Amino acid sequence: RTRGMTVAAFGRRKGGSPLVCLTAYTTPMARLLDPHCDMLLVGDSLGMVIYGLPSTVPVTLEMMIAHGAAVVRGAASALVVVDMPFGSYQESPAQAFRNAARLMAETGCAAVKLEGGAVMAETIAFLVTRGVPVLAHIGLQPQSVNTYGGYGARGKVEDEAERILADARAVAEAGAFAVVVEGVVEPLAQRITDAVPIPTIGIGASAACDGQILVSDDAFGIFADFTPRFVKRFADLASVIDAAAKAYAEEVRARRFPGKEHVYQPAAAPAAPQGG
């Protein structure tokens, strides 16, 4: 199928008008978001916002395949990228390729995303040279919450900032077509964006980046268990849904719903035979 946005065209937007990206997990949301977005990311954030898991760590390849395929079916022009879940790529470049190939073949997505900087450079190069476009993800890496110990901002001290800048250079050098930069202080986001030739997609990384991404359930006010500072509420869908459920419950209890217009009626009696 042909798509409006390609990996190559996405990469050429470096330094241009900001790239608009959101997460999506289902076909109807993909349809709604597609006209407004350059990229739809099927993020492993679905573990938390769709499945109620405590982190992204338990998310499986099967979950990503099911939701990736659903989003591809709903997207007409945005680039669809699917997250590689924890445990599906860290072991070796060969393991990463096997699972990335499944994600691409079984969903129809254009590219995969994986977390990690310099440590993942070899894997990124392995995938890219074998036909798998890779979106890198540096700075705050939610799949590493158990080793890092939290979701706080990264790059506040200079030696950590230097390491993250080196990560950005390493993933760009390895062939990533763009890089998500999550939860870093603004001066570092600016340094990274200036240093690499690929678009930087920020989340909690200031307007210095070449594009922005948010978890749509956060941005639209559906998921409220944990809202980091960098989330802006563009809608309050939770209160819209709460009001709709309340109205439905009231009408059912009062037998005002279903009304006449919602009810099937038996076929009209057949017309009497015409006499000769």
> Does the footprint of ligand KIV cover residue 219 (CB under 6 A)?
no
Residue 190 burial (C-beta neighbours within 10 Å; 0-12, 13-18, 19+): middle
- Using CB under 5 A as the binding rule, whether residue 218 contacts Na ion is answered as no
Q: Three-class SS of residue 80?
A: strand
Q: Which span sits near Na ion by CB under 5 A: 43-51, 148-156, 202-210, 223-231?
A: 43-51
Are the CB atoms for 23 and 41 separated by under 8 Å?
Answer: yes
Nearer to ligand KIV, 85 or 175 (CB): 85
Query: From the list Na ion, ligand KIV, none, which binds 72 (C-beta under 5 to 8 Å, kind-based)?
Result: none
Give the C-alpha distances (Å, rounded to integers) separating 44 from 49, 141, 208: 9, 11, 25
CB of 182 to Na ion, least distance (A): 9
The verdict on 63 binding ligand KIV (CB under 6 A) reads no
Nearest distance from C-beta of residue 45 to Na ion, angstroms: 5
* Per annotation, catalytic residue among 162, 182, 186, 251: 182
Provide the minimum distance between the beta carbon of 145 and ligand KIV in the complex, in angstroms, as a whole number.
12
Cβ 165 vs Cβ 179: under 8 Å: no
The C-alpha R_g of the chain, in whole angstroms, comes to: 23
- Candidates 19, 22, 42, 43; binder of Na ion (CB under 5 A) is 43
Q: Does 144 carry a binding-site annotation?
A: no
Residue 188 has a CB neighbour count (10 Å cut-off) of 25
Q: Residue 198: which of ligand KIV, Na ion, none does it interact with, CB under 5 to 8 A by kind?
A: none
- Give the closest residue to 80 by CA, choosing from 131, 128, 26: 26
The residue from 140, 196, 213, 219 that contacts ligand KIV (CB under 6 A) is: 213
160 a catalytic residue:
no
Report what 71 binds from Na ion, ligand KIV, none; CB cut-off 5-8 Å by kind.
none
Q: Which does residue 22 bind out of Na ion, ligand KIV, none, counting CB within 5 to 8 angstroms by kind?
A: none
| Cis upstream peptide for 258 (omega within 30°) | yes
Q: Would you say 152 or 258 has its CB closer to ligand KIV?
A: 152
Residue 38 labeled ligand binder: no
Residue 115 annotated as lining a ligand binding site = yes
Q: Which does 180 bind (CB under 5 to 8 A by kind): ligand KIV, Na ion, none?
A: ligand KIV
With 0-12 CB in 10 A as exposed, 13-18 as middle and 19+ as buried, what is 129? exposed
CA 252 to chain centre: 37
Which string of x and - marks every residue 175-194 that binds ligand KIV (by CB under 6 A)?
A: -----x--------------
> Is-contact 103 131, C-beta < 8 A?
no
- Residue 140: which of 263, 23, 55 has the closest Cα? 55
Q: Which residues are tagged catalytic? A: 182
Q: Which residues bind Na ion (CB under 5 A)?
A: 43-44, 83
